[in-house]
Structure 1
Amino acid sequence: MGSQDSSITSSNDSLLFDERRWVIQIRNTFEEEAEEGVRIPVSVFSVPKTLLSTKPEAYVPQLFALGPYHHWHPQLYEMERYKLATAKRTQKQLQNLKLEQAVEHFTGREHKIRSHYHRHLDLSGETLAWMMVIDGSFLLEFLRNYSDAERKPFRKVPSMSHMVDAARMKLVYNSILRDIVMLENQIPLHLVRKILRFQRTSNQIADNELSTMLIGFVKEVCPFKVMDNLSSIDTKRYAHLLQLLYFVIVPKVREGSETNEIEHHLDVPKSNEETPPEDPSYVKNLFNSVWSSASGLKILNVLIKKPLVFLVKVPWKIISHLPGISILAAPIVNLLFNRDEKSEDEESGNKPPLVEEIMIPSVTELTKAGVKFSPTRGDLTTIAFDVKTATLHLPTVSLDVNTEVLLRNLVAYETSVESGPMVFTRYTELINGIVDTEEDVKLLRQKGIILNRMKNDEEVANLWNGMSKSVRLTKVAFIDKVLVDVNKFYNSRWSVKSRKFMKTYVFGSWQILTLLAAILLLFLTCVQAFCSVYSCGTRWSFVTDTGAGGNGE
C-alpha cells in the first residue's frame, strides 16, 4: 500500500512539475512577445509522411543530430563526444565569457528558439539552451571549412581530423554534410551568429566572417551555379541553412506573377490534337455504315455476305473451347456477338495512379523530334522553351553523392512552408518527366545540362525517377507554359503524328485487330474451300516434284 502511495505521490510531483514548467513557459512567452512585438515564423518542420515513406534515410540523420528532433536517438547520441569537444574549443575562443553565460543568454530567449520549431519541444529551457550552444558550436566549426574554400584540398570534420585518414575523412564529411541539410536537422542560424559574435571583438566582424562561410558553403553544396556574382549574404535574413539554399535556388519572383499562375489552370499539360474518341464502338459504326452502303452490290453477296452468314451460323462457342482454336476464335466471338471484355489496360486505367508523373516526352524522344537542349547558368527562372529555334533551356545542375538528400529535403521544405506555387517541386517533376533512362541522362550530360559526379548515368536516372512523388498538386505558370509549348511542338511533328495514328487507331483498337483477324480467317476459309474443290495440294506437290526433277536434270 505504501509503495502505491509513493508511486501516486511521485506521479503527482512530476505532474505538478510539468504544470509549473508550463506556466513559466507561457509567462515568458507573453513577456517576450510584449517586448519584441514580432512574430517568428515556423521554419523547422517534420517531413511529410508521404515523402518520408519513399526513402527514410534521405530525411533522417545518419551520423549527427542537430537540434531537438533527433537529439535523443541512441544511434546518433554516440557521436555526442565530438560535439562536446567542439564546445570545449569554443569555450577557449569566447571573449571574456564562459560557456555557461552563453547558455544563460539562450535560456532568456527560449521562446524565440521554440518558435522556429513546428513540433512541441518537451524540454526545459536550460536543456534546450545547452543543446543549442553545443550543436551551434559544432555547426559553426563545420562551416569554417568554407571560409577559404580555394586553399583547402579537402574538408575537415570537427574534433575528428586527428583520428582518421583522408579517405575516411571524406566519407565522414559527406555524411555530416547530408545530415546538415536535412529539414528535421536544422537549428536557427541566428544562434550560430550569436556564438560567433561572442568570439569576435565586434558584431560587424562576426557577421562578415559568417557571410563568407555561407557563401563558400552555398557555392560548394548548391547543385546550381547561381552564386558567381554574390559578394555577401545577409545573415539575419534566413532562418537556417536549408532555407538559405532554397531561396538562393528559387528567388522570390512569384509576388508579381502570382495572379498569372492562378489563371493558369493546366494540371497535366497535353496536346488536344489527334485525340481519339473515347468510345471504342466508333469502328463498329464505321463498319456498319460501309456495310449498309455496299450491301446492294451483288458481288459482295457472293464473296462476303454469304460467308459471313455462314460464320454467324457456325457454333463458335463450342469451337472456341477446342485446343489451339480459342486464341483465334475468341476475338471473333466477341465481335460477332458484341461482347466487350475489359482488357488489362482498361482495368488498370480504372485504378488511380500511385505516382503522378508529368506528361512530357523523354529527352530521347524530344531529340528525335528535333528539340534542342541548351544549358543556362542561373536559377530555376531560366527554364524556357524557344518555339522559333525549338530549344529547351534548362539550368545546369551538378549531381554528386550528396545531391539527392539536398534535393529531397528542399522539396520537403517547400511542401511544408510554401502555400502558393511550388517551383522547385515542379522543376523536379519536369526533370523526372524527361529523364526515363540512362540514355536520356547521357544526352543531357553531353549538352552540359547535367554535370555527373556520380558513378554512372544509371544512378542519375534512378535519382530523378525516384523523386516523382509529391504531396499536393503543383502549378507554376512559367514551367507549365514550357510544358505546353514543348508538347505542342512535339505533337506537331509528322513523324509523331503518324506514329500516334498507328498506335491509337490501328494497334490500339482491338476492334480493328479483330476485324483483320476475321478477314484473315475468312480468306483462309475461302482458300481451303477452293483447294478442297480443285485439289491444290495435289497440284502443288506435282509442281514441286516437277521442279525438283527439272533441277536434278
Structure 2
Amino acid sequence: MFLQCDDNHLACLLAIDGLFLLNLFYTYNDQPEPLEVGPKKRSMAQDIMMVENQIPFIVLKEIHEALYSTSCSSSHSSNYRLTCSIFQTFCKIHSPLKLCSNSEGPSRADHLLHYMYFKIVNNVRRVVKSQEQPHEPQPRPQPHSKPQKAEEIKPQTRILEATYKLLESIPKNEIVEAYEQTISILETFCQSDQPVTPSASTLHDKGGFRFHGMEEDCGIKNIRISGTDVYLPVITLNKDSDVILRNLIAYEALTSKSTSFPLIEFMVLMCALVVNVDDVKRLKNVIEGDLEAEEVVKLFTGMSSCLPATKMEEKSKMKGVIDEINKVYNSGLRMRAYLLLKKFAQWLLMVLRAIGGFVGSSWKIVAFILSLVTVVLLTLQAYCDVYGCGNKKARSH
C-alpha cells in the first residue's frame, strides 16, 4: 500500500501511528507499577510488535520534537529530548523474558522490536567461573565374573538346539512371513531416532534431571547445566507472548550476521523440552504466566515447526549445553542398554537385507538368522538381568 502512496500520504500515516505510539508509551510510563494489562492491551501489543509494523525511532523523535517546538507547556517538557528508554516500561510488561538493567540498555535503537530484542539478549550476569568440578557420570558397575561350569552351559545349549529344531519344523511360508515381520520391526525400531534433546518429563523420569529458574539478572546466555541440574531463564507466557516471540525470532533471523542466534537456539531447546502437559509441570519453576498447560504446549509445538535453520562457524555455548544434557542423559544405564540394543538391531537389519534375495529358495538361511535373533534377545535379557536396564533404580545413577 505504501508503494502506491505519495510522500505526503506516507508522512501522514507515519505521523498518525507515531502520535498513537508516543501517547501509548507515555501512558505506560506514567502509571504506577504494577500496571494492569487486560486482553485489549495484550491484543494491541501483538500488532505493535509485528516486524512489518515497526516505526523507526527517528520518526518518533521527529514527531516528539515537533510537538514540543510548538508547545512548551506540556507536562512532559522536562523530557524534551526523547530517548529510546521510552520503550522500557512497555517492554518490561510484555516481554516474555527478563530484560537487562537500564544501565546496560542500548544507547540507541532502530525501533521498539530492536530495543526489546537487545534488552533480552544482553541480560547477562557477569560471574566468575565456579570452581566446582563438572559432573562425571558414575562408572558402570562391573558384574562379578564367575567361572562357568559345564553344567551351567548345557541348559543354554539345549535352548539353542530346541530353537533351531523348532524353526526347522516350521513350513516355508511361515518362515518367509516371520522374516518379513522381523524386517518391518527392525526398520521401525532403527528409524525411531531420539530427538535432539529429550522432553523435560523424559529427562526427569529416566535421567533424574531437575530444572531451575534463574534470577532476573540472568538471561538466555547464562543457561548452564551442573550434573543433572539444568538452570534456565524464567519465561512468562501470556496471550500476546506467541506473537511477540515469533517476531523477535524473525527479527534475529533477518538481522543476524550468521555468527550468533541466541534466541533461536533457546527456543529450539524449549521446543524440545515441552511436548506435552507433563513437561510443563516439570518446568513449573521456569514457565510462568496466565496460559494454561495445554496452551503452553500448543505454543511450543506450533513454534517448533517454524524455527529457522541456523548455521554457525563455531559451536555456541547454548549448543554446548544441549550436548552436555544429551551426554549426561545418554550416560545413564537405561540409555546405554537402549543404544546397545539399537546397534544390535541395525546390524541384524543389515544382515537380513543382505540375504533377502535368497528368501524364496534358501529359507533355511532365514531360519538360521531368526535363530540368531533369538540368541540376541537372550543376550539382551541377560544384560538386563545383570545391569537392571528396566529397573527404576537406574534413574538415580
Normalising by structure 2, what TM-score?
Answer: 0.67
Q: What is the one-letter code of the residue matched to 1:240?
A: H
* C-alpha distance after superposition, 1:387-446 (max 9, x if no partner): 4xx32111111000000100011111111111222111111001111112111111111x
Q: Is the 8 A contact 1:397 1:449 kept in 2?
A: yes
Letter in 2 for 1:465: T
Match of 1:526 in 2: none
Distance 1:347 1:145, change over 3 A: same
Answer yes or no: is 1:230 the counterpart of 2:67: no
Does structure 1 conserve the Cα–Cα contact (< 8 Å) formed by 2:84 and 2:109?
A: no
Paired residue for 2:257? Answer: 419
Task: Give 1:143 deviation, angstroms.
Answer: 1.7
Would you say the 8 A contact 1:143–1:214 is kept in 2?
yes
Q: Deviations over 1:44-102 (max 9, x none)?
A: xxxxxxxxxxxxxxxxxxxxxxxx66xxxxxxxxxxxxxxxxxxxxxxxxxxxxxxxxx
How far off is 1:310 after superposition? 8.8
Tell me which residue corresponds to 1:287: none
User: Would the aligned equivalents of 2:164 and 2:371 in 1 still touch at CA under 8 Å?
Assistant: no
- 8 Å CA contact 2:212, 2:229 repeated in 1: yes
**CA separation of 1:300 and 1:124: change in aligned 2, threshold 3 A:** closer
Q: Structure 2: any 5+ residue segments left out of the alignment?
A: 125-154, 353-367, 376-397
| AA at the equivalent of 2:202 | E
Separation (CA, whole Å) in 2 of partners of 1:334 and 1:450: 44
Question: Are residues 405 and 307 of structure 1, via their aligned partners in 2, closer, same or farther at CA, if it must alter by over 3 Å?
Answer: closer
Q: Secondary structure at the match of 1:127?
A: helix
The counterpart of 2:210, out of the listed 342, 365, 372, is: 372
Q: How has the CA–CA distance of structure 1 residues 505 and 225 changed in structure 2, closer, same or farther, with 3 Å as cutoff?
A: same
**SS in structure 2 of the partner of residue 147 of structure 1:** helix
Deviation at residue 365 of structure 1 after TM alignment: 2.1
Partner of 2:236: 398
For 1:319-330, what aligned pairs fall within 5 Å after superposition?
320=174, 330=177
- Distance change (3 Å), C-alpha of 1:186 and 1:460: same
1:465-504 superposed matches below 5 A? 465-468=301-304, 469-475=306-312, 477-502=316-341
Indicate if the aligned counterparts of 1:411 and 1:425 stay in contact, CA closer than 8 A. yes
Q: How far apart, in 2, do the equivalents of 1:224 and 1:233 lie?
A: 15
Match of 1:286? none
Q: CA deviation at 1:466?
A: 1.4
Which of 41, 57, 64 matches 1:173? 41
Deviations 1:153-200 (A, max 9, x none): 645xxxxxxxxxxxxxx3332221100001111111111122122223
1:250 to 121, 144, 147: 121
Q: What is the match of residue 283 of structure 2?
A: 444
Tell me what 1:183 maps to.
51
Distance in 2, matches of 1:488 and 1:426, equals: 18
State how far apart, in whole Å, the 2-side matches of 1:206 and 1:451 are. 38
Q: Distance in 2 between matches of 1:347 and 1:442?
A: 31
> Could you tell me which residue of structure 2 aligns to residue 6 of structure 1?
none
Give the aligned residue type for 1:373.
F
Could you tell me which amino acid in structure 1 is paired with residue 296 of structure 2?
A: V
Deviation at 1:304, TM superposition (A): 6.8
User: Aligned letter for 2:325?
Assistant: V
Seen in structure 2, the aligned counterparts of structure 1 residues 497 and 401 have a Cα distance that, compared at 3 Å, is same
Contact 1:316 1:333 survives alignment (8 Å)? no
Within the candidate set 172, 183, 194, 1:316 is matched to 172
Structure 1 residue aligned with 2:298 = 462
Note if 1:331 corresponds to 2:178: yes
One-letter identity of the residue aligned with 2:92: K
3-state DSSP class of the match of 2:44? helix
Q: For structure 1, which segment, 199-208 or 415-424, has the greater mean C-alpha deviation from structure 2 after superposition?
A: 199-208
3-state secondary structure, aligned to 2:102: coil
Contact preservation (8 Å) 1:384, 1:392: yes
Q: Counterpart in 1 of 2:110?
A: 239
Provide the C-alpha distance between the structure 1 equivalents of 2:303 and 2:98, rounded to a whole number of angstroms.
Answer: 21
Alpha-carbon shift at residue 138 of structure 1 (Å): 1.4
How far off its partner does 1:301 sit? 11
Q: By how many angstroms is 1:451 displaced?
A: 0.7
Structure 1 counterpart of 2:248, which letter? L
Q: CA deviation at 1:464?
A: 1.1
Counterparts of 1:452 and 1:246, CA distance in 2: 20
Contact 1:224 1:395 in 2 (8 A): yes
Give the secondary-structure state (helix, strand or coil) at the position aligned to 1:425: helix
**1:423–1:310 CA distance, 2 compared to 1 (3 A):** closer
Q: Quote how far apart the aligned CAs of 1:222 are.
A: 1.2
Residues 1:213 and 2:52 aligned together: no
| SS of structure 2 residue aligned to 1:461 | helix
Separation in 1, partners of 2:328, 2:158? 50
SS of the residue 2:230 aligns to:
strand
Cα pair 2:189 2:342 within 8 Å, conserved:
no
Contact 1:362 1:436 in 2 (8 A): yes
Tell me, in whole angstroms, the C-alpha distance in 2 between the residues paired with 1:125 and 1:382. 46
What is the deviation of 1:151?
5.5
Residue of structure 1 equivalent to 2:365: none
Deviation at 1:252, TM superposition (A): 9.8
Change over 3 Å in CA distance of 1:465–1:411 after alignment to 2: same
Structure 1 residues not aligned, in runs of 5+: 1-67, 70-120, 156-169, 254-298, 321-327, 520-553
Contact (CA 8 Å) 2:274, 2:297: kept in 1 or not? Answer: yes
Question: Residue in 2 aligned with 1:361?
Answer: 198
- Following TM superposition, by how much is the alpha carbon of 1:496 offset from its aligned partner in structure 2, in angstroms? 2.9
SS in 2 for 1:223: coil
Q: Counterpart of 2:99 in 1: which secondary structure? A: coil
Q: Structure 1 residues 310 and 233, CA, compared in 2 at 3 Å: closer, same or farther? A: closer
Structure 1 residues 233 and 197: CA distance shift in structure 2, 3 A:
farther
Q: Residues 385, 309 of structure 1: CA spacing in aligned structure 2 closer, same or farther, 3 A cutoff?
A: closer
Q: Which has the larger radius of gyration?
A: 1
Amino acid at match of 1:206: Y
Equivalent pairs, count: 321
The answer to which of 358-367 and 174-183 deviates more is 358-367
State the 1:499 CA deviation.
Answer: 4.3
| RMSD over equivalenced CA pairs, Å | 4.2
Aligned to 1:33: none
* Equivalent AA in structure 2 for residue 230 of structure 1: N
Aligned partner of 2:17 among 135, 145, 148? 135
Counterpart-to-counterpart distance in 2, 1:423 and 1:316: 59
Counterparts of 1:264-279 in structure 2 under 5 Å? none
Secondary structure at the counterpart of residue 393 of structure 1 = strand
TM superposition shift of 1:300 = 11
Query: Identity of paired residues, percent?
Result: 24
- In the other structure, the counterpart of 1:515 is 371
Q: Are 2:63 and 1:195 equivalent residues in the alignment?
A: yes
Whether the 8 Å CA contact 1:225–1:379 is kept in 2: the answer is yes
| Correspondence for 1:23 | none
Q: Relative to structure 1, is the Cα distance of residues 249 and 312 closer, same or farther in structure 2, using a 3 angstrom cutoff?
A: same
Separation of aligned partners in 2, 1:415 and 1:489: 31
Would you say the 8 A contact 1:332–1:518 is kept in 2?
Answer: no
1:199 and 1:216 map into 2 onto residues whose CA distance is 22
Q: TM-score with structure 1 length normalisation?
A: 0.50
Which digits, 9 at most, give the CA deviation of each residue in 1:443-488, with x for residues without a partner? 111xx2111311x212111211211133322445100110111111
